[in-house]
Chain A
Amino acid sequence: ILNVEQSPQSLHVQEGDSTNFTCSFPSSNFYALHWYRWETAKSPEALFVMTLNGDEKKKGRISATLNTKEGYSYLYIKGSQPEDSATYLCARPGSQGNLIFGKGTKLSVKP
């Protein structure tokens, strides 16, 4: 994997369902992995910056895990709510600290 890949591309769940999606990235020369939440017509909002293998971070009902050896991170949402509907982006740093983004997973939560 040369860049950042996210799956699935889109996801439709019912309110109350728990869900998760994947970010894959190059495992060599790992420095950090960023997760963002991006609602339509708003700014991307930083969720987590993950740096340590095995790390798990949590913010409310959203959590993320990191495996740097195999090059993947999972984002979990417990008990999805309609307000969780957004595109979830992950990104790895480029050589100068810029971010290289995946194409995102678009989550739609139906009431």
Chain B
Amino acid sequence: NAGVMQNPRHLVRRRGQEARLRCSPMKGHSHVYWYRQLPEEGLKFMVYLQKENIIDESGMPKERFSAEFPKEGPSILRIQQVVRGDSAAYFCASSPLTASSGSYEQYFGPGTRLTVT
């Protein structure tokens, strides 16, 4: 059973370009979470998705960022018109089940390191 997969592992974009980060959850997992690690900071929640639904995007910046998890295919985190401050490591995690109790493990991918030049 393959783990959570993310690609690309490293992404370099110039200011103003678009960045697309992909996450394939573990087989059988239908819950995907995106987190961001800014330099010198911890992991911060961005968005939680189930298939075809955004459940919670309270951690997502209001502009330029969007996420989707289509019925078929990976989850995509999209950043439009990137700026230097978007440089960070972006991690996705998946779980088979979830509940407001949050007692299920989340399995993390290796991350995508975005560098904006």
Contacts and interface: CB of A to CB of B under 8 A. Distances in A.
Interface of A: 31-32, 34, 36, 42-46, 49, 51, 89, 92-104
B48 A97 contact: yes
A45 to B, nearest CB: 8
Given A31-B100, A43-B91, A44-B91, A101 B105 contact: no
Given A89-B43, A99-B33, A32 B108 contact: no
B45 A98 contact: yes
Contacts of B100: 31, 93, 95-97
Interface of B: 3-4, 31, 33, 35, 41-45, 48, 55-56, 59, 91, 93, 95, 98-111
Given A89-B43, A97-B31, A101-B42, A32 B103 contact: yes
Given A46-B107, A96-B56, A101-B42, A31 B101 contact: yes
A51 B103 CA distance: 7
A94 B100 CA distance: 7
Given A43-B108, A44-B91, A46-B105, A98 B42 contact: no
B65 to A, nearest CB: 16
Nearest to A102: B42
A99 B101 contact: no
B108 A44 contact: yes
Contacts of B3: 43
A31 B104 CA distance: 11
Contacts of A44: 43, 91, 108
19 contacts: A31-B100, A31-B103, A43-B110, A43-B111, A44-B43, A46-B105, A46-B107, A49-B105, A93-B103, A94-B56, A96-B48, A97-B99, A97-B101, A98-B48, A98-B59, A99-B43, A99-B45, A99-B102, A101-B43
A101 B93 CA distance: 13
